[in-house]
Amino acid sequence: MKLPLEWLSEFVDVPRDVDVVARTLGLRGFEVASIEHLPHAVIDFEITANRPDCLSVVGLAREASAAFDRPMRVPMPAAGAPGSAGDGRSIDVSIEDPESCPRYCAQVFAVTGGAVTPAWMRDRLDAAGVRSISPIVDITNYVMIEMGHPTHAFDLDRLQGRALRIRQARAGERIRTLDGVERTVEPGMLVIADAERPQAVAGVMGGADSEIGAATTTLVLESAYFLPASVRRTSKRLGLKTEASSRFERGADVNAAPAAIARAAALFEQLGVARAVGPIVDRYPTPHEPLTLRLRSDRIAHVLGMPVDDDAVPRMLTPLGFAVSPAASAAQWDVRVPSFRVDVQREIDLIEEVARHDGYASLPATFPELAEAQAAPDARTLVDRRLRHVLTACGLSEAMTFAFIERTAALPFNGGTEPAALANPLSEKYAVLRPSLLPGLIDAAAHNRRREGKDVRLFETGTRFTASGEGRAVAGIWMGAGTSPHWGEKPRAVDFYDVKGVVSAVLDAFGITATFEAVSRPYFVDGRAAAFVAASGSTLGELGQLASDVLDARGVPAGEAAFAFEMDVDAVASAERPGDLRAQPLPRFPAIVRDLSIVVDNVLPAATVRGTIRAAAPDTLVGVTEFDRYRGAGVPEGRVSLSLRLTFRSPDRTLTDAEVDAAMAGIVEALASSHGAMRR
Amino acid sequence: MDISSLRKQFDADVASVASEAELRAIRDKYLSRKNGLIQAFLKTVATAPADARPALGQAANDLKKRVESTIDGRLAAVSKKPRADAIDITLPGREPLVGHRHPLTLLREQIELFFQRIGFLIVEGPELEDDYHNFEALNMPAEHPARDMQDTLYLASPLTSATGAPATLLRTHTSGMQVRYMERHQPPVRLIAPGRVYRRDNLDLTHTPMFTQVEGLVVDEGVTLADLKGTLVAFARDMFGPDRKTRFRPSFFPYTEPSAELDISCAACAGAGCSMCKGTGWIEVLGSGMVHPAVFEAVGYDPERYTGFAFGVGIERMALLKWGVEDIRLFYENDLRFLEQFPL
């Protein structure tokens, strides 16, 4: 709302300094978007949705009157008595839908012709951001800016039956609106029709067929009150937002309907544009009952945390149009709410009026009392924090990507089904909800690799969406070197085991023992992908080398390997080892370590070898670690040399070499019989 | 051997050695209490004439000091010498791979820490919401004009939210979680709800369609607007430091009444007015207010007995202000050259 200071001054004396006026009204809840100093002092206010009354000079003048403690200059000059309606100069108005249109006023005017908009009015309109069009349109715009109430002029001679019917649109009805667009209106939309067809979309825009023009000799001026929800619905369905609709949908002043006509009539007369012929027709089947609210002094103090002087309350409210009278009980008032304050509906709204009088400047700054210790944060917050600790310690930096992605990016990750789509996405790029965090991380990795080819190690924690709903996940991607760059050695490229190590570190942080199983996925290279499963059997997540077609599709430079993992955070959190941690005493007896090198089939999984060893060993075997895997000279084709370090220890005595020798013999025998393992 | 011969012998000995071990051996040779040469000389003093003894004792003592200071000096010099296997300690070290948390996480955790210090619970809620929890229970019934303030992304077909309830939209704020919490708990309530939220805003320098919010809610008997002001002013000080001024001024949100916004003085112009603060000298940081009685009624709280306040902070906005980031999209591009600028 652009407010020219000179226009404001017509209604209330305010300081000449536009910055002072802007700051003062700004602190009453009217945020200042910008201030113009030249050629005219104009303040552009952002008027919040609850204050349609301040989409007007008079509304803001009331605020200024209260803020600067200066009286308002009212009333405005009225028009003289209307002339009598001649033949064919009356209008037949009927409201067929009083729920959507509680009040409709109209008055007929004979157009004088030949008048022009005076410079002072053009200047004011121009300063307020409105283009001058013709004297009649300028006056209706002027009244709207001044009083906040939209009116609309029809060419009476174009209205069939000289009638205005305020009714629901009928199926299939069409109207060409003033913007020249042919529109279909439908039931649920309120229209102003003549005897035959719609001539305006109520509260939104007039129709081109009854538009006033140079040839207009008789006009009928509409000034109505339409139900906000009805106007909003219609405006949204037509995709048509106007100065009028934005005022009506926030809530116009039901009593301004006749007042706006009277004001326009005075201006028509003053500027010699038109003359009223016949009275204001006022259809108002169920007059608005003014709302009276009880305001309690102690409630003001209770909500604000600060007492307000009882004498000050009427002084704050009266200039704003509230009628304040003492109530039967002491320190209470009965406050009658003016019809233009559609936002004031209960006592709390009046308390706000009191509070904002000085822009909250006198409020003390206190703290709410705390009676007991607070509970621990949401477990999910703590899980995310731990995930970040572990993953940053593993060398991955945290990424954040959008939850909506391109459909084609989502498809490989959604098990062949359609990903969940948005009804009104911003663009194709953000059309579906991500079924996995990996597409976002692949895009982030591609972005980085295309820039300076940096090594990429990224992770993200976030929500993913599948047909069964939303779930929490964590995922990571690793490209480039697997080691820290250093002048002393050649970097090693990242491989599967780097990412498996990260996964193991996360599982370890949650005390989870998982088994890894080979899997096949459309987005992973076959033979280089695994799922990890908790002891309970629930799948916790997957890792693997990303398939090259998936990487290509997202612009990762060709030939680059990327390894990734994703886990179900809800599953990881619920698989966490329960119970209190009990520290284990350190071992009191020394361990005996034996290395074992065997030659086995190349495809025999290390986990199977480990299982055979554990099954064949006594309880004193406390550790098995692979420390070498070798294929080449000395190892037959199709076989592999596997070296393992076995640690034996007893909790209650020192083991003898003989005991361990016997255990090793048993292990070697089991490996030979189960896997044909040869000792090297 | 007389004392001057002994001294000459020491001087010759010490001149011909270079290593630390040799110097220590020479020290032992002369100073050892058991079999050192000076000790042996002192034994001969006992047999000398009585009037000569003090001078001889004094000479022996002088030589002892000479040996000590010479050896110490030479040892210090030896240890300063470069060794054969010296390394260039100016070469870079082998840095462990350590990742950075996202700057929005740094800020979120700072915010969480502040509110945990003053007794707030952290709760998280679903990102998929239903119309009731996102709007209606917050005093924004269908066709409410304030719904335009938050342009919503809707699902093409309903999905199951994290609460198990059917959802039709992506939450536009985390307020829905506050409603859910109040539905299940009686006052006192003192919580923050951090999380990602979604609005149908095109990407530009200051908007992204997904962003991160921390909303707060306090409900109890006797919670006041002054309490809200005190809490938020302390929060702004924690975030932006004690030098920035704060301003608490009236505003409008449908779910709070009275409503307020918190501004901080503009860092770019120190409050004088510039393009960054639109000439006002102030920058808007967050929205807040006293919980609207209609919200209490929706969750079954007695609005006459309980009062409360609520606030909402956009973390991206805070990050722009705090770190002088000029383009909000950088937070979602995940360029490591950006991410690695922030502390671990």
pLDDT band at A60 (very low <50, low <70, confident <90, very high): very high
Half-sphere exposure of A649 (CA within 13 A, CB side): 12
> Topology of A92-283 in CATH?
Phenylalanyl-tRNA Synthetase; Chain B, domain 3 (3.50.40)
The chain B residue lying nearest A384, using CA atoms, is B105
pLDDT digits (tens, 9 = 90+) for B202-246: 888 888 999 999 999 999 999 999 999 999 999 999 999 988 889
- Distance from the B119 Cα atom to the nearest Cα atom in chain A, whole angstroms: 5
pLDDT at residue B58 above 90?
A: no
Look at residues B310, B265, B241, B262 and name the one whose alpha carbon lies nearest to residue A360: B262
Q: How many CB atoms lie within 10 A of CB B51?
A: 7
Q: Domain A592-679 belongs to what architecture?
A: 2-Layer Sandwich (3.30)
- Torsion over CA: B29, B30, B34, B40 (sign): positive
- Residue burial A640-678, b: 16+ Cβ < 10 Å; e: rest: bbbebebebbbeeeebeeebbeebbeebbebbeebbebb
Residue type, A275: R
Cα of first residue to Cα of last residue in chain A, in angstroms, is 89
**What residue ranges do the domains of chain A occupy?**
2-68, 92-283, 291-358, 379-575, 592-679
Interior/surface letters A98-110, b for 16+ CB within 10 angstroms, e for the rest: eebbbbbbbbbbb
Answer whether A49 sits within 8 Å of B148, measured CB to CB: yes
Q: Does the distance separating the beta carbons of A302 and B307 come in below 8 Å?
A: yes
Residue A386 to residues A357, A530, B334, Cα–Cα distance (Å): 48, 24, 21
Q: Give the distance from residue B118's alpha carbon to the nearest chain A alpha carbon, in angstroms.
A: 8
pLDDT in tens, A294-310: 999 999 999 999 999 99
Q: Quick one: average pLDDT of A648-659? A: 94
Contacts of B161 in chain A (CB under 8 A): 469-470
User: Scanning the structure block, which residue is given the tokens 């008789």?
Assistant: A218
Contact A23, A118 (CB under 8 A): no
CA distance A48 to chain B (A): 6
Answer whether A75's CB lies under 8 Å from A259's CB: no
State the best of A47, A48, A400 to mutate against chain B, taking most chain B CBs within 10 Å.
A400
Check if the beta carbon of residue B195 is closer than 8 Å to that of residue B111. Answer: no
The predicted pLDDT at position B71 comes to: 85
Q: Give the gap in angstroms from C-alpha B154 to the nearest C-alpha of chain A.
A: 5
pLDDT in the model for residue B278: 75
pLDDT in tens, A8-45: 999 999 999 999 999 999 999 999 988 888 888 999 99
Token pair 């030659």 is found at A599
Angstrom CA distances, B48 to A625, B38, B40, B43, B44, stand at: 76, 15, 14, 10, 7
- Per-residue pLDDT reduced to its tens digit, A440-483: 999 999 999 988 777 999 999 999 998 888 999 999 999 999 99
Smallest Cα distance from B150 to chain A, Å: 12
Greatest Cα pair distance, chain A, in angstroms, is 129
Query: Six-digit token pair at A420?
Result: 């969940």
**Which residues in chain A touch residue B277, judged by CB atoms under 8 angstroms apart?**
none
How would residue B159 be classed by pLDDT, with cut points 50, 70 and 90? confident
Of A367, A433, A448, the CB nearest to B231: A367
Task: Report CB contact under 8 Å: B226, A366.
Answer: yes
Residue A397 has what pLDDT?
Answer: 96
* Cα distances (Å, whole numbers) of residue B329 to A427, A459, A637, B207: 16, 18, 55, 8
Q: Is B242 on the interface with A (CB under 8 A)?
A: no
Mean pLDDT, rounded, of chain A: 92
Which tokens in the block code for residue A267? 């201006």
> CA-CA distance, B180 to A593, in Å (whole number)?
58
Q: Determine the average pLDDT of the residues in A359-369.
A: 92
Q: Report DSSP letters for B203-258, one per residue.
A: -SSS--SEEEEEEEEEEETT--HHHHHHHHHHHHHHHH-TTS-EEEEEEEETTEEE
**Domain A2-68, what architecture?**
2-Layer Sandwich (3.30)
CATH number of A379-575: 3.30.930.10
Q: Sorting pLDDT into bands at 50, 70 and 90, what band is B60? A: confident
**pLDDT for A256:** 93
pLDDT confidence of residue B141: 84
* Residues from chain B contacting residue A448 (CB–CB below 8 Å): 334-336
> Residue B126: which of A388, A470, A487 has the nearest Cβ?
A470
Nearest-Cα distance to chain B for A37, in Å, is: 12
Within 8 A of B224 by CB-CB distance, chain A residues are 302-306, 366, 368
Question: Confidence band (pLDDT; 50, 70, 90) for A314?
Answer: very high
In whole angstroms, give the CA distance from residue A179 to residue A161.
25
How far is the C-alpha of A416 from the C-alpha of A425, rounded, in Å?
Answer: 22
CA geometry: angle A8, A13, A17, nearest 5 deg: 80
Scan for tokens 């069409």, then name that residue: A174
Q: Mind listing the pLDDT tens digit for each residue in A232-268?
A: 999 999 999 999 999 999 999 999 999 999 999 999 9
B112 touches chain A (CB under 8 A): yes
CA B334/CA B332 separation, integer angstroms: 5
Cβ-defined contact of A367 to B155 (cutoff 8 Å)? no
Instruction: Check CB contact under 8 Å for A423 and B307.
Output: no
Who among A49, A393, A399 is closest to B334 (CB)? A399
Task: Give Cα separations from A344 to A64, A77, B121, B151 (angstroms).
Answer: 19, 29, 34, 25
Can you give the pTM of this predicted structure? 0.85
- Measured in angstroms, the CA of A650 and the nearest CA of chain B are apart by 36
**CATH assignment, A291-358:** 3.30.56.10
Q: How far apart are CA A580 and CA B262, in angstroms?
A: 44
Establish, for the pair of chains A and B, how many residue pairs have beta carbons separated by less than 8 Å.
Answer: 276
Contact A366 B224 (CB under 8 A): yes
Tell me if B104 and A400 make a contact (CB, 8 A cut-off).
yes
Distance to chain B for A217, nearest Cα, Å: 38
Least Cα separation, residue B223 to chain A (angstroms)? 6
- The reply to whether B21 touches chain A by the CB within 8 Å rule is no
Q: Compute the average pLDDT of residues A499-514.
A: 95
Q: How many Å apart are CA A358 and CA A28, to the nearest integer?
A: 7
Question: A441 versus A329: which is more confidently predicted?
Answer: A441
Q: Does residue A679 or residue A78 have the better pLDDT?
A: A679
**Residue A232: closest C-alpha in chain B:** B143
In this chain, the answer to whether the domains covering A2-68 and A291-358 adopt an identical fold is: yes
- B:198-227 residues touching chain A, CB 8 A cutoff: 198, 200, 202, 208-210, 218, 220, 222-227
- How far apart CA B135 and CA A670 sit, in angstroms, is 68
B220 to A136, A621, B189, B234: CA distances (angstroms) = 57, 60, 7, 20
Smallest Cβ distance to B121: which of A29, A374, A399? A374
Taking each helix axis as running N to C, give the angle between helix A228-238 and helix A243-250, from 0 to 180 degrees, rounded to the nearest 10: 140
Nearest to B146 among A49, A363, A470 (CB): A49
Q: Taking a C-beta distance cutoff of 8 angstroms, is the pair A514, A534 a contact?
A: yes
B285-309 tens-digit pLDDT:
899 999 999 999 999 999 999 999 9
Instruction: Tell whether omega for the bond before B209 is within 30 degrees of 0, i.e. cis.
Output: no
Across the range B249-267, mean pLDDT stands at 91
Classified as helix, coil or strand, A473 is strand
**Rounded Cα gap, residues A332 and A325, in angstroms:** 9
Per DSSP, B307 falls in state E
pLDDT at B89 over 90: no
Residue of B143, B157, B257 lying closest to A349 (CB–CB): B257
Residue pair B253/B287 in contact (Cβ under 8 Å)? The answer is yes
Helix axes B3-15, B37-45, angle to 10 degrees: 180
Give the chain B residue whose CA is nearest to the CA of A454: B336
Chain-chain contact of B209 with A402 (C-beta, under 8 angstroms): yes
Tokens read off for A150: 């939209």
- Among residues A482, A481, A477, A508, which one has the least CA distance to residue A387? A508
**Using CB atoms and an 8 Å cut-off, which of residues 25-54 of chain B contact chain A?**
none
Q: What is the pLDDT of residues A569-601, one digit of tens each?
A: 999 999 987 777 788 889 999 999 999 999 999
- Closest-CA residue in chain B for A450? B335
- CA-CA distance, A103 to A254, in Å (whole number)? 7
Residue A75, pLDDT score:
65
Average pLDDT over residues A127-149: 94
